[in-house]
Amino acid sequence: MWQSEFVQDQLRRLFPSCDVQILGMSTRGDEILDVSLAKVGGKGLFVKELEAALTDGRADIAVHSAKDVPMELPEGYCLAAIGSREDPRDAFVCSRYSSLAELPGGALIGTSSLRREAQLREQHPGLAFGALRGNLDTRLSKLDRGEYDAIVLAAAGLKRLGLESRVRALIEPEVSLPAAGQGALAIECRAHRTALVDMLAALNDPETQACVRAERAVSRALGGSCQLPLGAFALLERADGDGVIWLRGLVAAPDGSRIVRAEARGSMRAPEAVGRQLAQTLLAQGADSILASLQ
C-alpha cells in the first residue's frame, strides 16, 4: 500500500488534472503465510491477482516490488516504468546482537529467502535458519516475541515504512548479493495502452531501469524462480550517455554448500545482453550442475 500511495502522489504531482485512485487488493502471496513461497508457486503469487484487475479493467496500472515480478510477463503486459532505487541491500535486524558475526552458534535466523539463507550458511555455518513469512509488522513481532534470534529483511521496505531504526547492520552485497530488482518499484500495465505507457514514462528512472533489466535478464536466462537461490545486482559505473553496467551474479545450492559467482560489464544501452553474458559465464563455471540438482 505504501508503494501504491507513493506512486499515486507522484502521478498527482506530475499530472494535477488526473484522478488517481487506489484499488486495494490482497494477493495469494499475502494470504499464504505458513508455507515458503518456493513451495506454493513463487513470486508470481504477489502479481497474478493484480494482473487480473488490469485485464478486466478494474485497474489501469499495478505497482510491484520489482523483485516480486516474474521474469516472464504474460503476453500483452509490460513494465512501463522502473522508479529510482531505494537501498538494495539486505538488513540484519536483531535486538541483542549488532551483527551476524556476533551471533552464537545455533542462533536461529528468520528469512523467507533461499538466496539469503544460502549465502549466509556459506559464511556462517554454525547458524540455524527458519522460514519467516508475513508483512513487516508480523515479521518484526515474531522477532520481538523471541521466535527468532535475528531476522534478515530487505532494507528498502524498512526504510520506506519508517522502520530504519530496527536495522542493526546493513549487509553489503559482497556478503549477501541482492535479488534481481531489489529496492526498486515496477509499474505494470497493458502494453496496448500506448497513451498510458507514455504517461508512465515520467516516473521511469533510466539508470535504475537499465540495472534492473540487466539483473532480470540473468534470472530469466537461468530460469530464475523462488526455487532457485540466485542473486543479481547491477551498478552503473559511468552515468554518461553510454554508461557502463557492472553486473554481479551468483547461483547457490540451497544449503550454501556450493555457490558460483561471476560478474560482467557492458553498455547500459543493452542491459539484457549484459545479463545474458553473465548467465552464460555462471553456467560455464558450474551453475548448470546446481540447476540440474534442483530439477
DSSP state for residue 182 in the 8-state scheme: T
- What phi, psi does 173 have (nearest 5°)? -55, -25
Question: CA 89, CA 254: separation in Å to the nearest integer?
Answer: 20
All 3 cell numbers of residue 186? 515496477
All 3 cell numbers of residue 38? 518456493
**Residues designated as active site:** 68
Residues 97-101: contacts with CB within 8 Å, 24+ apart?
Answer: 97/149, 97/150, 97/168, 98/168, 98/169, 99/168, 99/169, 100/124, 100/127, 100/150, 100/169, 100/171, 100/175
Q: What is the DSSP string of 212-263?
A: HHHHHHHHHHTT--TTS-EEEEEEEEE-STT-EEEEEEEEE-TTSS-EEEEE
Rounded alpha-carbon distances, angstroms, from residue 230 to 200, 227, 277: 30, 9, 16
DSSP state for residue 269 in the 8-state scheme: T
Q: Find the helix or strand (DSSP H, E) in which 120 lies.
A: helix 114-123
Residue 122 in contact with residue 255, Cβ under 8 Å? no
DSSP state for residue 179 in the 8-state scheme: P
Tell me the one-letter amino acid at 165: S
